[in-house]
Amino acid sequence: MRVFLTGATGYIGSALATSLRERGHDVGALVRPESDSHRLRDAGVVVLAGDMASLPTLSDALAGYDVFVHAAQSNTPADAEMIPQSLATFAAQNGFLIYTSGVWVLGNTTGVADESTPVNPLPIVAWRPAVEQQTLGAGGAVIRPGCVYGGKQSLLGQWFAAAAQGQPINIVGDGENRWTWVNLHDLVDLYVRAVEQRLPGIFHGVDDTHATLNQCAAAIGPDTRVEHVPAEMARASMGPFVDALIIDQHVSSAKTRQTLGWIPKRDLVGSVGEQWAEWRAALR
């Protein structure tokens, strides 16, 4: 199968590109000219120089791909205009479309939110539900990852660095809230299944971590002090992103597991040893 990716040099996209190549798929990727793409090229990925603004001019190069995966994670206001244009370009190629959204479109949950729960997006992702509907209208799939951990780490990178250096782990709010999580390797498996099965609908990339942030921090750094930053104090420098840091969610992926046969193998607290090994390896 021929698969085209955006975000292929990013945290999720780079792992996905490697996995798809390992499974024998032909992979192409949109990469900014200034980005380091040597690892993608070494893996046999065909690199197309450009950015999302240039996609409408690259239709000839996109012809013949079976699946288009928008794997880039972004929350800027410019994305509200750029991403719909990019997805429209992909949809015009008549390939299967996969859009990466996220659980933040569900907002703070009451009870358990599943794939059919109405959206209530945080302000920083208020534009995403419309893009989800655009994707579904084109017969595509929407993947909503939880907060991703594993590998070199992303959101949790500062936590691991602080614990390794004997510095306090900073948590915005009281830390008694729960984030929705997913391991990077399990998430990549979900994307691969979505690519190969090409089933339309909304899919939640969510594992079985239900620990509070304080409990997650204690698992990562048992001997590390936790410092809590009041939300309003953090908002002065971080703006509306604070809403994502104090979000409290319980999200299910039961329908996704049943539909795609996806079973996440890890939870954050139970795989801390693996996470430490991967984080240290990424520093070398």
Q: State residue 52's pLDDT score.
A: 86
Phi, psi of 280 (to 5 degrees): -65, -40
H or E segment to which residue 201 belongs: strand 201-205
What is the model's pLDDT at position 112?
A: 97
pTM of the shown model? 0.96
Distances (CA, A) of 243 to 215, 269, 270: 20, 23, 27
Q: What is the pLDDT of residue 75?
A: 67
Per-residue pLDDT of 118-175, as tens digits, reads 999 999 999 999 999 999 999 999 999 999 999 999 999 999 999 999 999 999 999 9
What is the rounded CA–CA span in Å between residue 170 and residue 188? 28
Q: Which two tokens stand for residue 249?
A: 């969610």
pLDDT of residue 156: 96
What pLDDT shows up at residue 237?
A: 95
> Are the C-beta atoms of 67 and 140 separated by less than 8 Å?
no
What would the pLDDT profile of 69-84 be if each residue is shown by its tens digit?
A: 999 877 676 777 889 9
Closest CA to 104 of 69, 135, 147: 147
- What pLDDT does 9 receive? 92
- Ranges in the chain, pLDDT < 50: none
Can you tell me the distance from the alpha carbon of 142 to that of 135, in angstroms, rounded to the nearest whole number?
7
Q: In what order do the strands lie in the sheet containing 141-145?
A: 46-49, 26-31, 2-6, 67-70, 96-100, 141-145, 201-205
Q: What pLDDT, on a 0 to 100 scale, did the predictor assign at position 169?
A: 98
